[in-house]
Structure 1
Amino acid sequence: MGVPPLSLDQRRAALKKATEARRERAAVKVALKQGETSLSEVLASDSEAISKMTVRSLLESLPAIGKMRAGKILVRLDISESRRVRGLGIQQRRRLLESLTSQR
Structure 2
Amino acid sequence: MTEVSFQPLTALQRAEALNKAAAARASRAAAKARLKSGELSVAELISSGTADDAIARMRIVELLEALPGIGRVRAAAIMEQLGIAASRRVRGLGVHQRRALVDFIDEK
TM range (shorter): over 0.9
Which of 29, 42, 53 aligns to 2:32? It is: 29
The reply on whether 1:61 has 2:66 as its aligned counterpart is yes
* RMSD between aligned residues: 0.9
Code of the aligned partner of 1:63: P
Question: How big is the shift at 1:82?
Answer: 0.5
Find the counterpart in structure 1 of residue 101 from structure 2.
96
Q: Check whether the contact 2:57–2:91 (CA below 8 A) recurs between aligned residues.
A: yes
Question: How big is the shift at 1:17?
Answer: 0.2
Question: How big is the shift at 1:89?
Answer: 0.4
Task: State the SS of the aligned residue for 1:37.
Answer: coil
Mapped partners of 1:20, 1:77: distance in 2: 31
User: What is the percent sequence identity of the aligned residues?
Assistant: 47
Q: TM-score, normalised by structure 1?
A: 0.94
After superposing on structure 2, the runs of 4+ consecutive aligned residues of structure 1 that deviate more than 6 Å are none
Mapped partners of 1:51, 1:28: distance in 2: 11
Matched pairs, number: 103
Mapped partners of 2:96, 2:9: distance in 1: 40
C-alpha distance 20-74 of structure 1, shift in aligned 2 (>3 A)? same
Question: How big is the shift at 1:4?
Answer: 2.5
Q: TM-score, normalised by structure 2?
A: 0.91
- Structure 2 unpaired stretches of 5+: none
Higher Cα Rg: structure 1 or 2? 2
The reply on whether 1:10 has 2:13 as its aligned counterpart is yes
Task: State the SS of the aligned residue for 2:76.
Answer: helix
